[in-house]
Homo-oligomer: A and B are copies of this chain.
Amino acid sequence: MDFNYSEEQQMLADSVRRFVQQDYDFDSRRQVVDGEDFFSRAHWQTFAELGWLMVPFAEEDGGLGGNAVDLLPVMEEFGKGMVVEPFLPCAVLAGGLLAECGSDTQKAELLPALVEGRLQLAFAFAEPQGRFNLADIDCRATRDGDHYRLNGHKSVVLNGGAAEQLVVAARTGGDRCDREGISLFLVDVESEGVTRRRYKNVDGHGAADIWLRDVRVAEAARLGEEGKALPAIEKMIDRATLAVCAEAVGAMDSALEKTLEYTRTRKQFGRPIASFQALQHRMAEMFIECEQARSMLLMAATQLDANGGVAPRAVSAAKSRIGRAARAVGQEAVQLHGGIGVTDELDVAHLFKRLTAVQYLFGSTNFHTARFMH
């Protein structure tokens, strides 16, 4: 057994850590988040140049290998720095689906552009009625000669505002919640009938609601077989879930570290508040949460890689446990910071917001506990 990163993975982690330390301090991040795109195109180019965008892909797709474990060093450091650039929705999720389901032609056309930072993608899956059930797709794709017509409404599409192409999950057959009948389509956001409402999420990440009204899509834009997309969707969402778990583990470590720093310097009744034993034991419990979370992350990552990327119970166990840890560590970090912890001015408050979002992204703690049970 070996839980250490390989040399390549360690170099990757170091490279992301250097970027975060040098270019992504709290004030720089604020400027990025408050900018037009909700992320920095310049940073994105850096990601491409440093090869990070190749991490999620297999070598034959122009990537670095594409193991689940490879995502960990990148996402953890992103979590510590609260990086908002759309690595997860664009490269891991939408890019991953393209690599998983796309034809050679489709891949050849789009993957190089993605990896070189020239193409923004997003995956539009969730819908207002469906919460976290990936099979609850009501968006319809009806045949129209050698085209399809798409109609539906997609909720809170991560990177949906900046994306040039969308991967859309739509129903070519069956009813809401049927596992069969779901297909994937590449949709240009400039197509007639696509409406977007862009916004920033509470955690600073960009997103959009997207409406499709009689959007005409060529058959060649379908990714993979008609009606058979759900297993691939589940596989890629599980992979993205692992990635967001890694981000959470990084963010929790950072929240604990900042809390330790703060309580060591902040004084009350003439003593640093870190000297109060009741608070000490709570920080010990935060530490335990961080460590148990990290263990679950490693468990799920190794299970995914050992099982060809399909390990739903392992992923759900990890998401459930890490969600609980994210809640506890985030809330305690804010509480132990006192008043300043609930202001927009402090980094720990933004870690808390992101740790809240990750509890719900790709399924809440409750959802994943139930999925683990069944």
A281 at the B interface (CB under 8 A): yes
A278 at the B interface (CB under 8 A): yes
A5 at the B interface (CB under 8 A): no
A343 at the B interface (CB under 8 A): no
How many of these chains are in the complex? 2
Tell me the chain A residues, 270-309 only, with Cβ under 8 Å from chain B.
276-278, 280-281
CA distance A316 to B164 in the complex (A): 57
Give every chain B residue within 8 A of A280 (Cβ-Cβ): 278
Give every chain B residue within 8 A of A276 (Cβ-Cβ): 277
CA distance A3 to B278 in the complex (A): 34
By beta carbon, the residue of chain B nearest A282 is: B278
The interface size of chain A toward B, counting residues with CB under 8 Å, comes to: 5
Give every chain B residue within 8 A of A281 (Cβ-Cβ): 278
**Interface of A (DSSP majority class):** helix
By beta carbon, the residue of chain B nearest A280 is: B278
Give every chain B residue within 8 A of A278 (Cβ-Cβ): 277-278, 280-281
Output the least CB separation between A190 and chain B (Å).
51
Give every chain B residue within 8 A of A277 (Cβ-Cβ): 276-278
Output the least CB separation between A335 and chain B (Å).
13
CA distance A363 to B32 in the complex (A): 57
Output the least CB separation between A186 and chain B (Å).
46
CA distance A14 to B276 in the complex (A): 42
Tell me the chain A residues, 115-168 only, with Cβ under 8 Å from chain B.
none
CA distance A277 to B277 in the complex (A): 5
Output the least CB separation between A56 and chain B (Å).
43
CA distance A220 to B182 in the complex (A): 69
CA distance A278 to B280 in the complex (A): 8
CA distance A280 to B277 in the complex (A): 10
CA distance A277 to B276 in the complex (A): 7
Output the least CB separation between A271 and chain B (Å).
11
CA distance A280 to B280 in the complex (A): 13
CA distance A278 to B284 in the complex (A): 11
Output the least CB separation between A373 and chain B (Å).
16
Output the least CB separation between A320 and chain B (Å).
20
CA distance A278 to B281 in the complex (A): 7
CA distance A281 to B278 in the complex (A): 7
Output the least CB separation between A117 and chain B (Å).
51
CA distance A273 to B280 in the complex (A): 16
Output the least CB separation between A58 and chain B (Å).
48
CA distance A278 to B276 in the complex (A): 8
The 6 closest A-B pairs by CB, nearest first: A277-B278, A278-B281, A277-B277, A278-B278, A276-B277, A278-B280
6 A-B contacts (beta carbon < 8 Å): A276-B277, A277-B277, A277-B278, A278-B278, A278-B280, A278-B281
